[in-house]
Amino acid sequence: MACIGTWTFSLAAINSCADQIQSNHTSLDSLIQGVNVIEEDPSTGVYLVGRGSYPNAEGTVQLDAAVMDGENLHFGSVCTLEGYSKPISVARCVMEKSKHSMIVGSGACKFAHDMGFVAEPNDSLMTEETRMAYEKYKLSSQSVDQVVHDTLAVLCLDKMGNVTAGVSTSGPPFKTPGRVGDSPLPGCGLYADNMAGAAAVTGDGDIMMRYCPSYHIVRLMREGAGVQDACDKVVTEMKERHGAPFEAAVIALNMKGEVGASSLLKEWIDVRNKKVYNGFPYSVWQLGKTPTIQIQQYL
Ligand code: GLY
């Protein structure tokens, strides 16, 4: 039994997942509940997740999320979902209650409504902080290149030996309306397969989606690679192929509950707590241990 999440702010999700898994809940139920904790917390919106996120260039919060079940390779995602604070729960409904794997835009909003989710006005999905940032953006036309690409990704392995991956993000602040990143794409933002384990990524999704890094990590593990080696190999390949520096970090979990992480981050500034980390921080819990933050150095 184990779980791992991107960045320091995932610790509340990992604490929740650890409790749920130890109470014999499935990795899928545990993961959704853990991700919902962060999606619903307005104070973590500045990390580009759920309630309190930054809007797109037209002032609308558009969220992407996905979930993948390693037991059967079932997958569900929503892209550019407007008016709902828990996109991963809608993604789960896509996976379990529709015959599709991905629903986008106005179709995703209608689907969420049909599934019983209650829509909120756009304004209630922002905080005073993100509203003011948007007003400032409109005045200065700050480029999206100057902003970060944090994303919440969580991987869980339960007592029954099932692994699940989930991702939730608003994408970069003030993005072009309709922009979709790597997070809701299978094999790019996340992948889970009980035959090997699970992987997920965070960083510049416009670049990372070209490399299908999550699928590659799981594939390498399936072919016998260790979890850390698989992470390092895929991140090294992206670094070499892309050439120019970009923000990228990956996490992975194998079926023994061993975890790995790798990144191209020299430092990460926690904008909420004003703390600088020398590398990529992530949260991890493994059976018999207390959930903690660990830091992966620049590769
Ligand atoms: N990795 C999140 C995004 O670029 O949307």
Domains of the chain as residue ranges with CATH: 2-296 (3.60.20.30)
pLDDT of residue 143: 53
Ligand 1 centroid–CA 202 distance in Å is 6
Q: Are 27 and 162 in contact (CB under 8 A)?
A: yes
Instruction: Specify the residue for token string 């699928």.
Output: 215
pLDDT of residue 144: 46
What is the best residue among 7, 77, 148, 151 to mutate for testing ligand 1's pocket, by most ligand atoms within 8 Å of CB?
Answer: 151
Residue 176 makes CB contacts below 8 A (sequence gap 6+) with: 56, 57, 144
Ligand 1 centroid–CA 180 distance in Å is 8
Digit-coded pLDDT (tens) for 254-288 = 999 999 999 999 999 888 888 999 999 999 999 99
**Average pLDDT of the residues of the chain:** 95
- How far from 35 is each of 9, 32, 104, 174, 274, CA to CA, in Å? 11, 5, 20, 23, 23
> For the chain, which residues score pLDDT lower than 50?
144-146
pLDDT of residue 147: 56
Q: Are 277 and 295 in contact (CB under 8 A)?
A: yes
Instruction: State the catalytic residue, choosing from 151, 164, 169, 202.
Output: 151
pLDDT of residue 202: 97
Measured distance CA(257)–CA(13) in Å, rounded: 17
What is the best residue among 208, 212, 238 to mutate for testing ligand 1's pocket, by most ligand atoms within 8 Å of CB?
Answer: 208
User: Which DSSP letter does residue 186 get?
Assistant: B
Question: Model's pTM, two decimal places?
Answer: 0.96
Angle at the Cα of 43 (from 41 to 47), degrees rounded to 5? 95
Is residue 151 among the annotated active site residues?
A: yes
